[in-house]
Structure 1
Amino acid sequence: MMKRNLILSAVLALSVSWILAAQYSWGTPQESSLVSQTFTVENMTCAACPITVRKAMSRVDGVHSVKVNFEAKTVTATFDPALTETATIAEASTAVGFPAQVRGEAP
């Protein structure tokens, strides 16, 4: 009886771990589905500005990473286009006081 319970417990634990691993891997965007977009953010003037912009853009659902180049006044966001779009990412920066626009677009 004890041996049977031990085997059942092991099978149950293994099944649960497989299910959790599958959910985690299905819920994470695949690198190939991610898109990068560069934004221009002209009014970054101090050391705190890039931090504020990065945090605001990173909070948008679907954004995978945000890299700010303070000297060039640009921000490159890598995101899942199935979850968000460039306008939403730009709006997040604009909402915290740093208007952003897709690089190359006219204001």
Structure 2
Amino acid sequence: MKNLVSALALACAFAPAMAAMQTVTLAVPGMTCVTCPITVKKAISKVDGVSKTEVNFDKREAVVTFDDSKASVQKLTKATTDAGYPSTIKR
């Protein structure tokens, strides 16, 4: 039993930290036509770690689910900005 506890403790010590899935809503006010969300979605989807992207033209927002060990809000907003659509986190 002592060996099992030791093995579990050792495994936990060397196991990588578990990544958490995060969901954020980005305000993307620069979308001015119904085709803009296509470009925004493509830009966000190219960010490593993004698993889901929903872009809503009427609300001028994007809801993004991502692995926080690979992506960050900064990377997401940079992707939209680089595509011509600056965004900020919606609170």
Q: TM-score, normalised by structure 2?
A: 0.77
Runs of at least 4 residues of structure 1 off by over 4 A?
A: none
> 1:43 and 2:15 equivalent?
no
Identity %: 36
Q: Shift in Å at residue 33 of structure 1?
A: 2.8
Richer in helix (by share): 1
Richer in strand (by share): 2
Q: Shift in Å at residue 84 of structure 1?
A: 1.1
Q: 2:23, 2:61 → 1: CA distance?
A: 13
Q: Determine which structure has more spread, i.e. the larger CA radius of gyration.
A: 1
Partner of 1:3 in structure 2? none
Q: 1:56 aligns with which of 43, 51, 66?
A: 43
Q: TM-score, normalised by structure 1?
A: 0.66
Partner of 1:102 in structure 2? 89
Unaligned runs of 5+ in 1: 1-29
Q: Deviations over 1:71-107 (max 9, x none)?
A: 0111000000011110101100000100010013xxx
Q: 2:31, 2:20 → 1: CA distance?
A: 30
Unaligned runs of 5+ in 2: 1-17
Structure with more relative contact order (C-alpha pairs < 8 Å, separation 6 or more): 2
Partner of 1:81 in structure 2? 68
Task: Tell me the SS of whatever aligns to 1:37.
Answer: strand
Q: Deviations over 1:23-72 (max 9, x none)?
A: xxxxxxx9x93110000000101121000000000000000011011101
Number of aligned residue pairs: give it: 74
Q: 2:30, 2:76 → 1: CA distance?
A: 17
